[in-house]
């Protein structure tokens, strides 16, 4: 299912082939978010035109949307109308979002390391037990456990699926994180037992918060189980802490299995974590920020503003071969006008460009790894990128 075809001589960066069901992905690769088995603003032909190799759909949102219709669901590939490699997450992060994140007004990444998180009353959005998780969504009580998550994902029919885990919040201390991690380990074993389909890869998830001893314990435990791949779960810390977390985990991961980093995908992150040996990433940055008037270029992120860009006749990115730039000739002025008029064409063209930009960057990274010039490319690219 996974083969390493080139190892960088100076770093842990590597190029690999991920294969299942006749679908082949060359890694490192960006996994574009398609929450309800659709990449917002893009059609199936657009997905292919943006060099997309992988899309991840959201188990929780599809489950809640389909409800009783889940048993008759045509599958994520048919729903999206695209025959590429697809993943589904487990629903665990949504439980965190509906629980600890809301109860403590907590976020995924620390903005200020010294900020004190205070609980917003006794809200009780979630109850995490050994059996599973009870939570409320739109006034309705929901229940999710390891077996249910796997059953849902098998019905959704993606090529790769994930175990149910608990994503701890940054206010959680060592004692709670340890108990949560070990419960997540027990859920992981239950997921392995529950899995019935042989045409889906199953990824285990490493947890342990920002604690080195717990991360190493979790990595060794998950790495010892017969998963097809291993993912590293969120740390709820700074970028520097996330790099530390990955550095703690990588030496203890099986070399022969693909490694996924959940919810990470900024430009500097891609370089820093590819260097550390990560193979795939999923993140909403390309699509969500496109809908919020931001485009990405090798020089940096540009916020399209009407007052600033309405007379700017330059392309979104000079020399870009994406459909928006190369075929439609989209200028910053065009985009500014579309966004100002609330014309959906703006979000469409910005999404076309952003998704292509990130996928094309990953393609370049793979090429430079093959030439043993990854660090040279990284340093050159980020020096120009960070100068803006």
26 forms bridges with which residues in the sheet?
17
Asked whether the predicted pLDDT for residue 113 surpasses 50, the reply is no
Query: Which of 177, 176, 204, 179 minimizes the C-alpha distance to 190?
Result: 204
pLDDT of amino acid 110: 34
Q: Are 234 and 263 a contacting pair, CB within 8 Å?
A: yes
pLDDT of amino acid 40: 95
Tell me how far apart the alpha carbons of residues 19 and 201 are, in angstroms, rounded to a whole number: 10
pLDDT by residue (tens digit) across 260-317?
A: 999 999 999 999 999 999 999 999 999 999 999 999 999 999 999 999 999 999 999 9
User: How many Cα atoms are found within 13 Å in the side-chain-facing hemisphere of 314?
Assistant: 11
Q: Which helix (H) or strand (E) holds 18?
A: strand 14-20
Asked whether the predicted pLDDT for residue 364 surpasses 90, the reply is yes
pLDDT by residue (tens digit) across 219-231?
A: 999 999 999 999 9
pLDDT of amino acid 109: 37
pLDDT of amino acid 104: 47
Catalytic residue IDs: 89, 282
pLDDT by residue (tens digit) across 6-21?
A: 999 999 999 999 999 9
Residue 115 pLDDT grade (very low, low, confident, very high; cuts 50, 70, 90): very low
Asked whether the predicted pLDDT for residue 388 surpasses 60, the reply is no
Other Cβ atoms closer than 10 A to 315:
20
Domains delineated in the chain: 2-292 (3.20.20.105)
């Amino acid at each position: 299912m996974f083969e390493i075809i080139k190892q960088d001589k100076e770093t842990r960066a590597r190029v690999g082939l991920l294969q299942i069901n006749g679908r082949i992905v060359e890694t490192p690769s960006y996994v574009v978010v398609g929450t309800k088995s659709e990449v917002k603003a893009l059609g199936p032909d657009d997905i292919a035109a943006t060099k997309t190799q992988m899309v991840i759909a959201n188990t929780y949102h599809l489950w809640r949307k389909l409800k009783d219709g889940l048993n008759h669901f045509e599958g994520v590939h048919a729903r999206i109308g695209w025959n590429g490699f697809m993943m589904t997450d487990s629903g665990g992060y949504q439980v965190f979002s509906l629980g600890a994140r809301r109860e403590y007004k907590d976020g995924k990444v620390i903005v200020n390391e010294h900020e004190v998180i205070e609980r917003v009353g006794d809200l009780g959005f979630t109850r995490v037990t050994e059996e599973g998780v009870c939570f409320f969504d739109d006034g309705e009580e929901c229940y999710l456990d390891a077996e249910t998550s796997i059953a849902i994902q098998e019905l959704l029919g993606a090529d790769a699926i994930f175990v149910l885990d608990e994503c701890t919040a940054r206010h959680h201390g060592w004692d709670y994180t340890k108990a949560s991690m070990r419960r997540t380990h027990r859920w992981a074993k239950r997921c392995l037992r529950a899995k019935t389909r042989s045409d889906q890869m199953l990824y285990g998830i490493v947890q342990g918060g920002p604690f080195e001893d717990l991360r190493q314990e979790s990595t060794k435990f998950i790495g010892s189980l017969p998963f097809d791949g291993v993912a590293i779960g969120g740390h709820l810390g700074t970028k520097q802490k996330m790099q530390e977390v990955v550095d703690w985990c990588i030496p203890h991961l099986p070399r022969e299995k693909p490694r996924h980093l959940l919810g990470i995908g900024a430009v500097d992150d891609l370089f820093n974590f590819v260097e550390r040996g990560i193979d795939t990433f999923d993140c909403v940055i390309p699509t969500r920020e496109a809908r919020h008037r931001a485009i990405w270029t090798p020089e940096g992120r540009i916020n399209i503003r009407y007052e600033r860009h309405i007379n700017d006749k330059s392309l979104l990115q000079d020399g870009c071969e994406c459909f928006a730039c190369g075929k439609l000739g989209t200028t910053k002025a065009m985009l500014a006008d579309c966004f100002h008029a609330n014309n959906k064409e703006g979000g469409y063209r910005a999404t076309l460009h952003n998704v292509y930009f990130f996928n094309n960057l990953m393609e370049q990274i793979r090429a430079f790894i093959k030439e043993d010039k990854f660090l040279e490319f990284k340093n050159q690219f980020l020096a120009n990128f960070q100068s803006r």
